[in-house]
Amino acid sequence: MIKILLVDDSAVIRKSIKFVLDGQPEIQVIGECADGNQVIPYLQNNNPDVIIMDYRMPILDGVEATKLVKDLFPEIKVIGFSCNDDIITKESFLKNGATGFLSKYEADNKTIIEEINTCYLTT
């Protein structure tokens, strides 16, 4: 079972991804955070395998939150998730420890599930 944490300031996005993933027997959404500053406190009591991390959030953006996660919990995989599908955004996530990246414009149900499985299996 792959345990997922969803981090996005949009409740609609979080609920949509959760709806997609709830139909997958090998994946379980174990939590949601609405901003990057909520991630570390959440991780102190919970142990997801993969975090799907939005880029733009009001208090702590996804790139900075990814860096904090990887510094404190290096075993957790992070997938950057953004409307900005430019190379700078993608490389910012990857440079700060993300294992993968998804564009909100190009990601469909199948792509999201494939990226989670790929990241989970990456050592």
DSSP 10-21: -HHHHHHHHHHH
- What the block records as the tokens of 73 is 């919990």
Q: Under CATH, what is the fold of the domain 2-111?
A: Rossmann fold (3.40.50)
Instruction: Tell me the three state secondary structure of residue 119.
Output: helix
**pLDDT digits over 102-120, tens only?**
999 888 999 999 999 999 9
Placement of tokens 């959760």 in the chain? 18
Chain mean position to CA 18: 12
pLDDT band at 84 (very low <50, low <70, confident <90, very high): confident
Per DSSP, 75 falls in state: T
The pTM of the full predicted model, rounded to 2 decimals, is 0.96
Take residue 114 and report the two structure tokens written for it. Answer: 């494939």
Residue 4 in 3-state DSSP? strand
Distance from C-alpha of 113 to C-alpha of 122, rounded to nearest angstrom: 14
Structure token pair of residue 5: 């944490």
Indicate the SS3 state at residue 26.
Answer: coil
Largest CA-CA distance found in the chain, in angstroms, rounded: 34
Instruction: Write out pLDDT tens, residues 37-54.
Output: 999 999 999 999 999 999
